[in-house]
Structure 1
Amino acid sequence: MRVVERVEARALMKSAESIRIPSVMKLVERRVFNILLYNASEAGFEHEEHRIEIVRLRELLGYHGKNTGWIMDQLKALSELRIEWDTIGPDSSRRVGFAKPISSAEIINNKLCVYSIPKVIRDGFSQASLCARINLAIQNEFSSPNSLALWEFLRLMVAKTPPPFEVEFSIQEFRELFNVPENQYSDPGEFNRKVVYPTIEEVAGVSDLSVAIVKKVRESRRLVALIMRVDRKVQTIISAAEAFGVGPLPAVVERMQQEFNLGLTDAQRFAAKFVDHAYLNDLLDDYLGRYRRGMIAAGKLAPYTRKALENASPQRPLVIAQQPLPAVAPADVAPAPEKTEPDPVLEERKRRRTEIELVLASMPGTERAAIEQAWLDSLDTAKDNAIIRLHKRNGILHPGCRVMFLDFVLALYQGKGEVLPTCSEIEEGVC
């Protein structure tokens, strides 16, 4: 229960009137607007001007970049939108109107965002009799503005009627909610296949609600409405709460923030992915060692670590224990083998691999990608199928893939000194 309460604490109480506004916003604009509303609700909707730190806005949005220009573009888009509504209030009064989501916005020193919300929108939120809890973690999981709009509406139904329950939604209501005009997807079957069904499937797949179509209502073989069964998915809520970090932060989360400069959202996501934190720390030690040896370019530790952890397997690779040798009689004990000198060829190859790692780390990303693609093109799909599968799953960071790749690069410039081939050399077949 404590977990659920924490995740609900980061939820916007969104009014029925605002949810019924047609979805004219793009997905990212709708997410940003929800975060701005959530931030304003904490200070109180009676105030026109509100402030939010850019770091907090990025965290709630799940945006990992530091380009405040991109955030300003979303604020500009919100200020240029005009949302319209035609709703019936709880007292049967009809409200028809329009407004801009935000009236102004300003970013100060790339650290603070100051924005204003029009009074008509603030009044709608503060006086609403029915609100839905819009979870700011779950909203970031959607890939379509239609999915976010439908989920918000169903959350409103959950606030009104305890689940499970069934709700009938006409195809025309889907069009109005998704803001799809009649001349777009004029064929009802195409609209259902390409818009309605994928939207319901995504809401059921990534949100905290279980949504299933239980009946299709037809008139003269024409589909006119869908009856959906809606219920809660408790395990999804707990998972979302874990993504926000309930209780004290694990030590590995603080380490990823302090030593690797990862954001809180990323650090908690990886801590949840790798249940074995000892294994996660081993991976971090490896990345940090590569960085200190110069194998990772300066200033690139955070993006390298993020991508490497995203591609890494969540479980430590299994190591097959060697079976003990059968006991033998003393007379049969063979003399200990004489110590041999290290193979100079193998030692030289190891040294050259280390050199290649250092040179690759200092190369532009485009050149590294071209060399890696040349290596992939050289693989035999039949003989090297296992390596190809490992590369698709784990990328070039998998030890087996990386050894083969380094040997390939070594062969490319064998005898050319210490200079690796460039992209143009590979593309022209010089190597």
Structure 2
Amino acid sequence: MDNAVATLGGKVYSFGGTDGGSTYNKAYVYDPGAQTWSALPNLKVARSAPQAVAYGGKLYVFGGWDTNGWPVDKTEIYDPATGAWSTGADLPKPYAGAAATALGGKIHFVGGCTYDTCGTTDVQVYDPVSDSWSSGTPYPQSISWLGCGAIANKLYCAGGATTSGTTKHAYSYDPASAKWTPIADLPIDQWGMGYSAADGKLLVSGGVTDGSTTITNQGFAYDPGANTWTALPNSNNTVYRGGSACGFYKIGGSPAGWSAARNSELLPGYDQCVAIPWLALDKTEVTLQPGQSVDVNVSFNANVAEISQPGTFTAQLVISAKTPYRIEPVPATLVVNPPKTWGKITGTVTGIGCTDTSTPLRGATVQITSKTASYTLKTDENGKYVLWLDTKNNPLTVIAAKDGWASQTQSVRISAGEATTVDFSLKPDRACT
């Protein structure tokens, strides 16, 4: 129970948690295709009741209680491409039992608990690009153990535990106005429930209700367009304080008190997990009579925070209908070309061992520093890295480093429209024996 769960690349990740006695630094990944769980490298800090958010191909773990019950301020970042953990900027106000979700290129961390008190109006905003925190507009009520999700450029939050009990109140947050607005209340009060945003709806399931006296398996979906909640199928397991993520997956939890469960379950049909910031539709729901047709206009926009590099970006338009027949998804592709003044720096980092054998170094750190900014990259499984930059950043200082190897530094200038290759051959940082 009290584990953090997120989905990324069709897989389900679970971090930390407790069995009711011990607090864990364990991490696992579930492959729905193989229907198997696998262990991942451990978190550096054991924590229970943290939050996990998938963003930009990586998984971010925030907050939680440590083994002594103190809130954890360390931010840990897992990269599935390299299989390695790194650290981010510390959480300014560490909390456990909060809610977290990505919105508009930033991660919002809402509410939470301290060592001995649950409930705060604090909203903390993390920018993955600059690796920095800022304060958001305070939540309308002191809150913890709530459910939040991002839908169509707004943040929606519902339920939770207040300093005086359990609430059914819900709110939306618009970054354009930086204001919270009340929306339709949940049908029942809930806290410690599973939550996610999927298919344009905020989903909540399970948790504690009836004034903190009853653990429930009821669930509800909020439709922002109609400002209404509708019932979801009851979950198979009646638990609270488990992990949850888009899918709609529910992992672990407790059926009572501190009795942790190994259960995992899925409510199918809610697998559209990530809002595509560069793609927009002029309509998302239509009603057709026999023989009728309708046009759906699709627009593309590369000028969003999530696109900072040239490349090819793909998505699928999934069409759901009340029919027994499968409707094939419609592919959507956006090709972003580099500006004319940009050049590419790329290369391979290899390690030259004591036997003079050369091996690509996966997960090596490549730091590229210009006159105005610094960029930190990780090499892929082939030891490669790549970054496009405006030539006005010249000259560049490039440092390649990895634990167990002596770092190297090179100076380079990039040319507009061209690729500049900078390779590194690192040697062991200790004498060969």
Smaller-chain TM-score range?
A: under 0.3
Larger radius of gyration: 1
Identify, as 1 or 2, the structure richer in helix.
1
Identify, as 1 or 2, the structure richer in strand.
2
TM-score, scaled relative to structure 1: 0.22
